[in-house]
Every structure is written in structure tokens, then in C-alpha cells.
Amino acid sequence: MTVDAVTAGRRAVCQRPLYPSEKMTPPSTSTPARRPSLRDALSTPDRKQRYVSALFQRIAHRYDLITVLLSYGRDRRWKAELVDLANVRPGERAVDLACGTGDLAYGLAARGARVAGLDFAPEMTRLARSKARRSPLDPSTALRVDGERSRTVDSRRSLGASSVTFVVGDMLKLPLPDASVTLVTAGYGLRNAAVLDTALAEIYRVLAPGGRMLALDFNQPANAVVRAVYLAYLTIVGSVVGLALHRDADTYRYIPASLARYPGAADVAARMAALGFVDTEWRPLLGGLMAINMGRKAP
């Protein structure tokens, strides 16, 4: 991605208000403003988009801690596996969608890609940038895994300051020209998209012929009983952690609520194929509770 493309992209970014306009009405002194229920907040694409951007802006400062807690420390391993599977070619142009605090973007950059991390929560991109400033080793240690499957990377050698850029932008309206990148990644991004097919179509549009997409996310277990237990478990844990950290049970109940509305890796693979992706497949993680979707734009 050229600096021009990113700069043009920044200009084209449609920054949405962080909070829904109805919530910006000052509350009356007697009745405090009520947050919409999760069901309401996710009931239409517009509402979901506003809810999700406000949510991640609000929890950004706790995001890394929460991710470690809720995944029992496995998140790094899954991300490292995605980076391995990406088979990065040195110098290739990559974009990491819904980049959050930048783990995948830094992981790809450490393998030699020129990466733009994109997220619509400005606080996430600010935190992502700050990781590079703190210590050149920090970003890659976020993905360092002691297992034999994941290569340990030395960020001092391969992570040049110019190889990662973070921009505020919407993955449903990517500020990138057609066929401008060879690799698109997303960590827990597709499930958060207000319209999944629009996100996939945008990925397809910006990929050059032969370019790859890899997306890590929660999965919908095929077995109905396992699915129900999994969602119940995530709801209980999410409520407890949300109450403990934010005094708001809904904060992390969003995860099972969004997962219940997400079709899962097999369906995502089918949607990708319908859009024209080839070699679509998905790799189950944690017994199929998580998954990495993969595919290529036809050469």
C-alpha cells in the first residue's frame, strides 16, 4: 500500500459518530439515559454499527487484558497460527481489518509485509500505534509463541517503523483502491461487521488477483447442544467480567450475542465462494469453537 493510498484512504474515511445521536440528547435531570438492550442494539445494521464502534472505543484500554482473560491466554497462539498460515511474502502489501490494538498487523509486519491496520475505533488505532513507540520488541512479543509451530520473530530486525500504519476506517467501506493489496487479515473482525456480505465483498474488491484472505473468529459449533452450552458459558463469563471491569454485564455479553447472529466458519466459506473466492477452507481451532477462514481471489 503506498503512502498515497493510505493518505487518500484517510481522507475518504467516513468517521461515524461514536455514540448514537439519540444518546447524545442530554438526559433530563430526573431520568438517567438508558442504554438500549443488546437485542435492540443489534437489531439493524445501522444500530449494530453504532453500538459496536461505541463499545470498542469504550473498552479499548482494557482490550488486551480482556482478550487474554477470555481466551485463557490462547489468543496469541491463534493469531500466531494465522500469521503462519498467511505465508507472508516480504514486501507484500497487507491490510489487517478491525485491527484493534494491532497484534496481527505487527505480526504480519514482523514477517516482512507492509501493513495497514484499519479500525473504526480511533482509540484502538491510537493504542496500536503506541505499542510501536513503547519498545520495538513489544509488538512481536504479543505474538510470540513457544510452541514449535509458530516461528519466533525478532522485531528489531524485521519491524521497520515504516512497515506498519494504522488508520481509522470502516471495513464496510474500505478506503483502498480495487486490487490494491495481496493479503487481507481480520482477527475477530467479520463477526463484528454490521453486514457480513458487505465486508466480504469489500475484501474481495481490494484484493489483487491471487491475493489471500485469512480471518480468525469464534465459530458456531455444528452440534446444537454444544452450541447452546458454549453460548451460555460465554454469557455467564462475559457478564461476570463485564460487571467486574465495567460495572456493566452487557459489555462482554456482546460476544455471545454477536456470535448467535454470526453464521459460523462453514457458512462464511460458502459466502466467500459465492463472491468468487477460490480455495476456500476453514481451519477449526479449540475443537471447532474457534476457526480461521481462508480463501484466495482467483488469479
**Interacting residue ranges for ligand SAM, rule: CB under 6 A:** 52, 56, 67, 98-100, 103-104, 118-121, 124, 170-172, 187-189, 192-193
In the DSSP assignment, the letter for residue 291 is E
- Given the complex with ligand SAM, which of 98 and 241 has the nearer CB atom? 98
Q: Supply the minimum distance, in Å, between the C-beta of residue 85 and ligand SAM.
A: 15
- Given the complex with ligand SAM, which of 86 and 193 has the nearer CB atom? 193
Q: Supply the minimum distance, in Å, between the C-beta of residue 187 and ligand SAM.
A: 2
- Given the complex with ligand SAM, which of 124 and 294 has the nearer CB atom? 124
Question: What cell numbers appear for 291 in the block?
Answer: 476457526
C-beta atoms surrounding 273 within 10 Å: 13
- Given the complex with ligand SAM, which of 31 and 191 has the nearer CB atom? 191
CA atoms of 93 and 116, how far apart (whole Å): 8
Q: Supply the minimum distance, in Å, between the C-beta of residue 115 and ligand SAM.
A: 12
63-70 vs 224-246: helix axis angle to the nearest 10? 140
Amino acid at 130: S
Q: Supply the minimum distance, in Å, between the C-beta of residue 59 and ligand SAM.
A: 9
- Given the complex with ligand SAM, which of 120 and 277 has the nearer CB atom? 120
- Given the complex with ligand SAM, which of 67 and 219 has the nearer CB atom? 67
Helix, strand or coil, per DSSP, at residue 163? helix
Q: Supply the minimum distance, in Å, between the C-beta of residue 151 and ligand SAM.
A: 19
Amino acid at 110: A
Spatial contact of 16 and 50, defined as CB atoms under 8 Å apart: yes
Q: Supply the minimum distance, in Å, between the C-beta of residue 44 and ligand SAM.
A: 14
63-70 vs 45-59: helix axis angle to the nearest 10? 100
Strands (E), the chain: 93-97, 114-119, 164-168, 181-187, 207-218, 277-285, 290-297
- Given the complex with ligand SAM, which of 159 and 299 has the nearer CB atom? 159
Q: Supply the minimum distance, in Å, between the C-beta of residue 127 and ligand SAM.
A: 10
Spatial contact of 252 and 241, defined as CB atoms under 8 Å apart: yes
Spatial contact of 71 and 286, defined as CB atoms under 8 Å apart: no
- Given the complex with ligand SAM, which of 127 and 153 has the nearer CB atom? 127
**Among residues 82, 98, 75, which one has the least CA distance to residue 203?**
98
Q: Supply the minimum distance, in Å, between the C-beta of residue 30 and ligand SAM.
A: 34
CA atoms of 226 and 220, how far apart (whole Å): 9
Q: Are strands 290-297 and 277-285 parallel, antiparallel or unpaired?
A: antiparallel
